[in-house]
Amino acid sequence: MASIDYFERKLDDKRRLTIPTELRNEFASGVVITRGFNQYLHLYPKQLWDKEVESALGGSILDEKVADLNVKFRFGKTEAELDQKQGRVTIEQHLLDYAGIDRELIAVRAGAYWRILPAKADV
């Protein structure tokens, strides 16, 4: 089976993103959505967040770069479970505002996580 590294979606009226069927097992542990490094969002499988991101954010309490990353990724961070029936997850309005996403978006795999950008983004 071919892997999916990109998909386009339109959020419904309740700000829900439908994850493609082929990717739902990847998010079986849950979903973490955060601000990205720039004006986009990061979408992580909860298991990946717990195993890799949390440990990476756990550096020295006196390291300003680690502190800055903690603020960047924890400010507005949301965790949720996928709607098992339709594979949907709600994206909070403050995160959509941060990324400049209205209703249409693109998601691109960036290694082990996903970047979510406005459909009109110049990638």
> What does pLDDT average to over the chain?
91
Q: Return the pLDDT at 75.
A: 87
Q: Return the pLDDT at 123.
A: 66
Break the chain into its structural domains and give their ranges.
6-118
Q: What are 36-85's pLDDT values in tens digits? A: 999 999 999 999 989 988 887 887 778 888 888 888 888 889 999 999 89
Q: Return the pLDDT at 92.
A: 96
Q: Return the pLDDT at 1.
A: 44
Q: What are 77-108's pLDDT values in tens digits? A: 999 999 989 999 999 999 999 999 999 999 99
Residue 30 pLDDT greater than 60, yes or no: yes
6-118 — its CATH code? Answer: 3.40.1550.20
Residue 53 in tokens: 């991101």
Cβ-Cβ contacts under 8 Å for 64 (sequence gap 6 or more): none
Residue 80's Cβ-count burial label (10 Å; 0-12, 13-18, 19+) is middle
Calculate mean pLDDT across residues 4-15.
Answer: 95
Helix or strand (DSSP H, E) at 33: strand 31-35
Q: Return the pLDDT at 81.
A: 94
Q: Is 115 helix (H, G, I), strand (E, B) or coil?
A: strand
Contact between residue 89 and residue 19 where contact means Cβ atoms under 8 Å apart: yes
